[in-house]
Every structure is written in structure tokens, then in C-alpha cells.
Structure 1
Amino acid sequence: MTGADPEIVRRALDTGDPLPGTNGFAGELDGGLVRDVLGRVPLFFDGQEWSHRPTDLPDPTRLPAGHVRADGELTRQFSLPDPAPVETNAGVEAVREAVRTAVDGVDPAGHAIAFSGGLDSAILAARLDAPLYTVGFPDSHDIEAARTAAALLDRDLTVVTLDRERLERALPEVVAATGRTNAMDVQIALPLYVLAEAVRADGYERLVLGQGADELFGGYAKVARAPDDPRVEAETVRGARREMIETLPAQLERDVLTLWSGGVEPVVPLLSDAVVRAALALPAEALVTDRGERKWALRLAARPFLPDRIVFREKKAVQYGSLVARELDRLARERGFKRRQDDHVTAFIESIATEDGLPGST
């Protein structure tokens, strides 16, 4: 069992508690396989064999998050709770306490922090004495944002600079590790892979990341615009936020497999069970204010230990902030994949996978 004491997992199975106080778990237990409700640890099987990495198996099948496989049968064991919303101030305080406990519980020895200069990674940097690393092309938003935020926190920063050669070298490695060739997944995974390699080369075995905060705390514009945004089905902000949380297993599988391939173990304290439980209880107005301000509860929770210039800043998604999406688009067009064709970047990535004989799917 990876990620939790087997006794905790047994109790969770007995009680049906989806958030028993862990940071995620997956593996074999009492002759069966089990995976936590958010899929924070990947798990695959092929007949009686299983592994955390699909590349270890001839014909891997993913064990879905929250499921148990026993005697060849799949059963959903865990589902996310849907608590009634609490009052905003109480919700913010609960989030603050959960975040403090989760982040402060990380032993910084052997750890580095993936630092983009945004709210989520700044929370980690403010509370953990571990070196800060950022990644991007030289003129990228992420590098500038990380530098200004590190200065505000009076912290040193290591910049991992991307270039075309590094991007091309990492591309088949990411496809091989994740089995994915769609443009969005690869654009997100590429900077993570390069960052992981650099951190590992500097002697750090674990990388602390702020993954999950946007999903938990209403960080997406489509959540803020619910029910008017066609990208979500929900009729409420809380419902749209839940839709985003339900995308986490697929996202986390991609990120974890990428980081493992880069040589580091990911640590994601903002996805601890306690933080998830506190986030789920937030009312809509603590996720998105009537002025459209997103992740409001997390911002208020972080004010005691972050300057307001960081707390209330907006930041681009990693694929855009690092300029990886731009450069991958340019690379695809240089190789003859024109924007007028459908999803030309994915078509380019698929061609690389085919050339290298890599398994991949969109």
C-alpha cells in the first residue's frame, strides 16, 4: 500500500469514509486493489499483476479512483462527500487551519518547491524552508511572476530555463511516461518534467507542488461563470466546482507519472484529506465573490502569512505562463502541421509518438 498505513485504509473501507486523514493511497490490500477517492496515487492492473506505472505492464487497465478490485470485480467504494455549506468566516478559518497543518506537516529535508509566483505555490514557500524552483522560457510570465514573488518573500529562486532543444528532448519522454498525446496534457506535463529533472539533478528527491487548489477552491473562470458557461453542466458555482474536482484523478495521474519519470516524488499538501474536507464545505460566495473574484476563501486564509500583492494576484495556467504552449505550437507548424488542420499540435505529438514507437492515446 502506497501513501497510507494499511490499517487506516482498512478502517476507511469498513466505514466508507472517503477522506480518512491521508494524502491519498493506492495498492494491494488483503488480496485486492484499492485507490483513494481523488486518485492521488496512480494504479494499474493486468490480470493478476499490478503496478503504479502503466509502463510496467503489457496491457494496463487503470483502477478508477475510489474503487476496489477484488476477485476480478470492480466496485466503487468511495465517493466525495457533499456537505451543506458553512458560514463564510467559519469556512475560511477551517481552510486556514487545514492548510497550515498540511503544509507545516511536510518535512522540508530533501524537498524542493515548484514555485510559479502564484497564490498556491506561495503558500508553500511561505511555510516551508525548502528551495524554490521555477521553469519557463526566458521571456515567460511565470519566470517574471516567480522572481517578483520570491523577492516579496525574501527567498532565493532557481530558474530552470527552457529552450527549443530541451523541449524537443523532453517531449517523447513525457509521452512515454503518461501514454498521452493530446496537446493540453502534454503542454502541462512538459514543464513539470523539465523541472523535475533539474530538481533531481540538484540532489532533491521530492518536489512540493500546489496542485488541486484551483479545482478545490473555484479557481477556474468557467466555475465563476456557472451556469452560463457552456463548458460546465452544473447550475451552481458549487456544482461547477464539484465538476472540476472530478477531473482531478485524470490530471493527477498525468502529473504524478510525469514527475516520477523526471526522477522526483511529488508532494501535494493542498490535496490532503483535511484540506479537501474544508474546501468541500465552503459556500459559493467563498469560492467566487459577487465581483467575480475566484478562490476567495483560500486567498483570505493565506493573508496572515502572505503579502496582499501575492494573495490577490492572478496567474496564468502553467502551459501558457511558461510559454510551452506557444513554443509547441511553433514547433508543430515548423514540422508542417498547420493551424488550419484540426488540433494540429496533437497531430504533431502523435507523429512523434509514432516515430519513436511509443504507446499513446489522446
Structure 2
Amino acid sequence: MIHGADLATVERAVENHDPLPDGPGFAGELPDGRLVRDVLGRSPLFVEHSGTQWAFSPTDLDDAVPFPAGHVGDERVFSLPDPPAFADENEALTAVADALDASLALDAEGLAVAFSGGVDSAVVASRVDAPLYVVGFEGSHDLDAARESAHAMDRDLRIIECTHADIERAVPLVARATGRTNAMDVGIALPLFLVAERAVGDGYDRLAVGQGADELFGGYEKIVRTDHRVDADTVRGATREVIAGLPDQLERDVLAIRAAGAEPVAPLLDGRVVRAALRLDGPMLATDEERKRIFRKAAREFVPGEVAGRKKKAVQYGSLIARELDRLARQAGYKRRMDDHVTKYVASLLESG
């Protein structure tokens, strides 16, 4: 059983050692019994620590560990390509725009869009007639940004105003589904879960997300600074380091969305988009003044200029969910002077829930 792509595509990829065929990622079991997972880990896969059983969710196993991305059976078959950089920005812009155009040909049946108002989710929403959902506490940056971007795009927006009761109810569900209790992971997964949950309640079973753009296209300050947070000394090298962390991040995000009953759709992680992104270099990715430079330029073919250039906070901060999760932890007696006080609070909710 294969998840994410048809068997023929996966078998061709394995035979040709092709790490990035067109389309989404894949994971599962080949007819010969070997397990397979794509190079970016876009589809989670788990095995029992003993190696005797496997599943798409860690909760279906007694002692689950992730099956490594890029592996077929015991062998690493897929590695992230290192192609030559584009000759100039015009070539890069054309290639990225064409890849986005191909990846955004989404089936709208049963589809909703997680929409924070930033360029990533706006590009995903631009070519599909599907409802847009945003979640956040009243007064949050994400609610304001989503309203402004939806207005600029002439799209209706469904707003989920979060409450403390929502957080307390959802935290155990998210922590159990993802197997994570640390404050950062829970803070990121909660908005995805809450959006997916509302979309499912409205009758949708697929959620389009903008995951991957920051990693692929240079959305992080640390890749420009090449500081202590990365080993590389170039923007392109630092970006590849960030991309290498996608399997762990995507596992969390996919599991959170599935826990709400929806299947994630991530067009910005389509093989065509990834191949184009890997050929970007230096200022094509980011400068001190602007992150995701070529991506934002390409985005102007899909969304209004003010949306393509909009700066946005990370979802856990833009939604104010991280702030309110911290507030709830302190109200429950887990003070900031304690190590990992929010993580301890999350663990307590998991035990009681």
C-alpha cells in the first residue's frame, strides 16, 4: 500500500533513483515488501522499534519510530539533488513561476485552504475555488493579515476566533497524534489542527497548506546571517540545511491535520517546485532586505503585489496561540522560571485528557 502517489510513479522513481518525480511525496510498502519514503519525508511512515510492523500513524504502533526519508528498505536510495544554479534571475523567475503554475492545478473537490494572509498560503489559494480559513485570537496579526489579503484577492474568508477552551481541548489531541509535547511543535501544530477541524465540520476533507515555501525559498533570517544556527557559510548551503529538516517538520504538520480528519495538500512541496527551488542561489533566495526574493517575484503572477510582498510572523506567533498557550501554562501553575514550563503544562493536559 502506497500513500501520496500511485504505485507506478513510485516504482519508476525507485528504479531510476529519481528523488523528485512530479507531484507530492509518497510512503508505504512496495509489492516486494520493502518500505519506501520520499526524500523530503512529505508522507509520514513509522515502524515498530523491532522493525516487524509499520503504519502511517505512530498511534497505530506500540513503539513507533519514523522510517527514514529517502530510504527503500534498509538502503538510502534517494538523496537531495545538488543541481547547478540558474544562470540569472530571469531564468530562475521563469522556472519557479512555471513550476508553481503546474503544481497549483488542484482538484477543488472537498478542498479547503489554510489561509494566514501571507504570500505562501495566498499563492496556494490563488488558483482554486475553495473556501479560505484562518485561525487566531482576537486582535492577532494573522486575522488582520488574512482579512486584508482576502479582500485584495476578492475572496471570502472564514474566520476561526480561538479561545482558551479551544486550546485546552485541542492540546491533548494534537500531542497524542504527533507524539510531541514540546512548546514549539505544539504551538505550530495547534493552528493547523483547529483549521482542519473546522473545515471538516463544514464538510471538507482535504486541506491545502503553504508548507515548504520558507524552507525551499529562503524564508529564514538564519540563512542570510549564516550564524551559529547553521553550519554552512553560504545562503544556498544554509538553505539546504533547512530543507534537510523538512521530514521532521512535515511529520508533525501532516499528523496534526490528519488528527482532525482531513488530508493535507501541499502544492509548494510538489517535485517540480522543489527541483526549481534547489537551483536558486544567493540573492535569488534572500538578502538582508528581503526573504524569498524569487518566490515573491513569481508570486506576483498569482496574487496582487501587496499580498506577494506581505511580511508575516510564524503561525504560532501570528495567531497568538503561542502567547496564550504560555498564559494558560502560567495560570495552571507552570511558571516561566521552571524549565520548559509550557512543555510541562502540555504533558499535564495529555495525562488528564
- Bin of the TM-score, shorter chain as denominator length: over 0.9
CA contact (8 A) 1:45 1:51 kept: yes
Amino acid at match of 1:65: A
Q: Give the drift of 1:355.
A: 3.5
Match of 1:327 in 2: 324
Paired-residue identity, % = 57
Match of 1:281 in 2: 279
Match of 1:339 in 2: 336
In structure 1, what is the Cα distance between the partners aligned to 2:302 and 2:347? Answer: 45
Q: Of 44, 48, 52, which residue of structure 2 is paired with 1:48?
A: 52
Amino acid at match of 2:313: K
> Can you give the 5+ residue segments of structure 2 that lack an aligned partner in the other structure?
none
Match of 1:109 in 2: 109
Q: Secondary structure at the match of 1:305?
A: coil
What are the within-5 Å matches in structure 2 for residues 1-362 of structure 1? 1-29=2-30, 30-46=32-48, 47-69=51-73, 74-86=74-86, 87-104=88-105, 106-226=106-226, 229-289=227-287, 291-356=288-353
CA contact (8 A) 2:25 2:42 kept: yes
Q: Give the drift of 1:354.
A: 3.4
CA contact (8 A) 1:45 1:57 kept: yes
> Can you give the 5+ residue segments of structure 1 that lack an aligned partner in the other structure?
357-362
Q: Give the drift of 1:61.
A: 2.1
In structure 1, what is the Cα distance between the partners aligned to 2:68 and 2:101? Answer: 30
In structure 1, what is the Cα distance between the partners aligned to 2:168 and 2:23? Answer: 37
Q: How many residues align?
A: 348
In structure 2, what is the Cα distance between the partners aligned to 1:111 and 1:354? Answer: 34
In structure 1, what is the Cα distance between the partners aligned to 2:303 and 2:93? Answer: 15
Q: Give the drift of 1:239.
A: 0.8
TM-score by length of 1: 0.94
In structure 2, what is the Cα distance between the partners aligned to 1:161 and 1:206? Answer: 21
CA contact (8 A) 1:287 1:295 kept: yes
Q: Secondary structure at the match of 1:134?
A: strand
Q: Deviations over 1:203-248 (max 9, x none)?
A: 001000000000000001111211xx21111110001111110111
Q: Secondary structure at the match of 1:214?
A: helix
CA contact (8 A) 1:102 1:269 kept: yes
In structure 2, what is the Cα distance between the partners aligned to 1:172 and 1:145? Answer: 29
Superposed CA RMSD in Å reads 1.1
Q: Secondary structure at the match of 2:291?
A: coil
Q: Deviations over 1:172-216 (max 9, x none)?
A: 000110010111000001111111110000000100000000000
In structure 2, what is the Cα distance between the partners aligned to 1:10 and 1:57? Answer: 26
CA contact (8 A) 2:178 2:256 kept: yes
TM-score by length of 2: 0.96
CA contact (8 A) 1:88 1:285 kept: no
Q: Give the drift of 1:162.
A: 0.5
Q: Secondary structure at the match of 2:113?
A: strand
Q: Give the drift of 1:126.
A: 1.8
In structure 2, what is the Cα distance between the partners aligned to 1:202 and 1:23? Answer: 25
